Structure 1
């Protein structure tokens, strides 16, 4: 495997985890907003990490594996697809709070906030940060191994 491909694996993982942290921060920032621009309530988001296009997701594991190996041999690329992050709307229902003095309250005095669970978002953010750190550690180890390999090759004179 080419050393650039090894670095690309860690970089793709860091990109996915960076997106997870950004989305969690966005959800936390909008947890107590009553409505956004245009009067629309904020819809919490979530990140789905995927490595296969939606059209190739059907079929057995062995069929997908064989297709990826054939693609790599023909195109000279990696024997697998790189992970990517897709941001999709969450399915949490809004949180109803009784606030009769709020100007956005309905006839019964309730207001709807986005269905963001701050504890769940913080746990997801911490997990994404740890995974990002693991990818950084892997990239640093890859760099060290490449430098040692180059040192070994340079001492053959």
Structure 2
């Protein structure tokens, strides 16, 4: 039964990361067309960096020697992207610089929509895995209760 609990925890961590990834993509899309005045700070696109939990070989080996299953799941960190600002020629804009360019965040809307779609699909896959594990646990309890 412990393995099923761990599989549920892994699916839950996956859902948490994909929710964060969708929120970050939505924030980036919202800031894609926000202009900044010359010299004013510009919204920077964000990226979600993921790392498996317990990825260190020594930790996994120590757990295996102790008869424990390897740790699982994933964690995420949000970092600012170093994408350059997007400059658009809009000489009539009050936010234009001396050359007539307005700066926007360096967000590629197409990439962000793709990231959002992938996050939703990955979230759905984690929900499916979570529900399958939960169904197995319920079935095991039903079988155990019949004896």
| The two structures share one fold, judged by TM-score above 0.5 | yes
Unaligned 5+ segments in structure 2 are none
1:30-109 correspondence to structure 2 within 5 Å: 30-35=31-36, 39-52=40-53, 64-71=56-63, 78-109=69-100
Classify the secondary structure of the residue corresponding to 2:103.
strand
Partner of 1:142: 133
Render the CA deviation track for 1:54-88: whole Å, top value 9, x for unaligned.
Answer: xxx7xxxxxx4343231466595x51353111101
Equivalent residue pairs, number: 145
Task: Say which SS state the counterpart of residue 39 (structure 1) adopts.
Answer: coil
Distance 1:75 1:18 in 2: 33
8 Å Cα contact 2:47-2:80 kept in structure 1: yes
In structure 2, which of residues 101, 112, 124 is the aligned counterpart of residue 121 of structure 1? 112
Distance 2:65 2:10 in 1: 18
**How far did residue 129 of structure 1 move?**
0.3
Structure 1 counterpart of 2:5: 4
TM-score (norm 2): 0.88
Report the aligned-residue RMSD.
2.3
Q: Which stretches in structure 1 are left out of the alignment for 5+ residues?
A: 58-63
